[in-house]
Amino acid sequence: MIDIEVRSLSVGYDQRRTGGRISAIEDLSFSVQAGKFVCVVGTSGCGKTTLLNVIAGLQKPASGQVLLGGVPVAGPGKERAMVFQTAALLPWRNVLHNVAYGLELQGCPAKEARRAAREMIALVGLDGFEDSCPHELSGGMQQRVNLARALVTRPGLLLMDEPFGSLDAQMREFMQTEIERIWRQTGQTTLFVTHSIDEAVFLADEIIVMTSRPGRVKAIVPVDLPRPRPHCIKQTPVFHAIGDELRDLLEAEFDPLATSRLRLEAV
Amino acid sequence: MLERLVRESPPFRKGLLSSLTLAAGLALWEWLPEAGWVDPFFTSSPSRIAHAAVSLSTRGLWRDAAVSLNEFGLGMLLAIVLGILAGMLLGWYRTLDAMFEPFVTLFNAMPRVALLPLIIMWLGIGIASKIAAVFLGAFFPIAITVMAGVRTVDPNLLRCARSFCATDRQIFRTLVLPTCVPYLFAGLHIAVGRGLVGVVIGEMLASQAGVGHLINQASTTFQTDKVFVGVILLTGFGYALTAILKQAGKSFDTWRVPK
């Protein structure tokens, strides 16, 4: 298990058209205890994905730093794994080889990687689909492969970037229960980006609310709901109260034109 | 009426229809000179070509074919190896692309057979100039398609691979190569045609043997039948090679979403 400490992080993007810089994240600080499930919510374009990219070591910050277990992030690392918004599966590999892909890249011997992948395929409930190709799977199943590929590397820190964003409502609820069950079994520190308030309250121990761009921490909302959480927990007054609090926080940040503006500036 | 029948019928019946029109075309070609409508001195006919083929087959046809095949094979091999290499390098490294892009564009736009007289001056009338002719035809389609293939590597997959600490070598082997395969096959299809043009023109311009040489010799002595033997031999070879490529491409493509 790894704890996260983000210290006055700032990240910017170069602007092609004007040659200036857009500030995506500015002076962002927070910390996450080891083994916690923490959700990050915020309006579109507030730098949630950028934050994950920096923690994953895929993007360099302009200033500030991220410490994982006390060690500053310098690049991608084997103790971290990311679950992507799009499933990002290799279309020419079957499920088994896709799940083994991450381990393989990390230098695990192919035979060993495949054995571990088989176990993980069972854990995410895909047994019997080992030989299927990605195009034969539904969106939900593809996301489970995406998840299994990350989990099989036994990461101390799991980074999830809106993994259920493209799923239909039912599949989404089902996957939420699944991820909660799997997390209770594996117990790694999890940082889960979402724009669904319900999803955040249902899954998290703690919710980080970000301001609109440039992203900062607006509030940290603890969620004291017992686990395991059945879906009927969404009908309880406590659940509603936390949801309303988040809604109020986010409403103050909402700008209906923000995404379009960002796109215009990014051209 | 016929249109609807063909549209709704299974593939083998469509095949039947195309075989029928092909047979009709051949019959017409045979019959028109017989009936005196056209002069067989110019048009020849299927039976005359068959006769010429039989008599040629004991008099050097296979030697000519072997010479052309050898030139074509070596030129293609060189074009494939160097084409893939150049395509990968130019597709991956933006610096190299910026340096060599003008050459690639110019050479690709140029009717490269126009260079053949020069090449024959430099390399002589032997096998070397023919290999160069095939290479010049086949190299660019391969290099350009592979280059396009490298650039279409899914950025999401790249990000994923990097997040799992992939080395450049691993990225090349697991992402770039598989992405390029269908592009490579598209390039090879074009390259086969261009390479055949190269070997034939090369042999026609200056040579001592080969199918292009045979065609050239026969036509300057007005032996239309023999010219057609050469043309048909080349067509058959090109067709067979394209069919093999198509089949090989399919076996690499089983994972693709069926359309």
**pLDDT above 70 for B20:** yes
Q: Are residues A147 and A163 in the same domain?
A: no
Query: Which member of B159, B165, B256 has the closest CB to residue A105?
Result: B165
Chain A: nearest CA to B160, how far in angstroms? 7
- The answer to whether the CB atoms of B165 and A84 lie below 8 A apart is no
Q: Which domain-ending residue is among A154, A171, A193? A: A154
Distance between CA A89 and CA A80 in Å, rounded? Answer: 18
pLDDT at residue A264, rounded to an integer: 66
Is residue A84 one of the residues assigned to a domain? no
- Domain of residue A201, CATH code: 3.40.50.300
Last residue of a domain, which of A137, A154, A171? A154
Domain boundaries, chain B: 61-251
The reply to whether residue A101 touches residue B255, judged by beta carbons under 8 angstroms, is no
pLDDT in tens, A111-128: 999 999 998 898 888 889
* Structural domain containing residue A168: 4-79+156-266
Residues A173 and A188 in one domain: yes
**A76 contacts on B by Cβ (under 8 Å):** 162-165
Residues A144 and A167 in one domain: no
What is the average pLDDT across B155-168?
92
Residue B90's pLDDT is what?
93
- CATH code linked to domain B61-251: 1.10.3720.10
In a domain, A197, yes or no: yes
Intervals of chain A under pLDDT 50: none
Q: Which residues of A touch B178 (CB under 8 A)?
A: 90, 92
What is the rounded distance in angstroms from the CA atom of residue B208 to the CA atom of residue B117? 16
Number of domains in chain A: 2
Task: Establish if A198 belongs to a structural domain.
Answer: yes
The beta-carbon neighbor of A92 closest among B159, B161, B178 is B178
Residues A139 and A182 in one domain: no
Beta-sheet strand order (sheet of A80-83): A80-83, A157-161, A189-193, A37-41, A206-210, A217-222
A97 in the same domain as A165: no
Task: For residues A194 and A177, give the distance between their C-alpha atoms in angstroms, rounded to a whole number.
Answer: 15
DSSP string, A196-232: -HHHHHHH-SEEEEEPSSSB-EEEEEE----SS--GG
Q: Which one of A107, A132, A154 terminates a domain?
A: A154
pLDDT interval class at B259 (50, 70, 90): very low
B255 and A88 within 8 Å at the Cβ level: the answer is no
* Prior bond of A237 cis (ω within 30°): no
Q: Where are the alpha helices (DSSP H) in B112-252?
A: 116-123, 127-151, 155-163, 168-171, 177-205, 211-220, 224-251
Bigger pLDDT: B161 or B250? B161
Contacts of A132 in chain B (CB under 8 A): none
* Chain mean pLDDT for chain B: 90
pLDDT at position B193 over 50: yes
For A59-111, give the secondary structure using H, E and C: CCCCEEEEEECCEECCCCCCCEEEECCCCCCCCCCCHHHHHHHHHHHCCCCHH
pLDDT of res. A258: 64
B160: closest chain A residue by CA: A88
In a domain, A85, yes or no: no
Verify whether the Cβ–Cβ distance A105 to B159 is below 8 Å: no
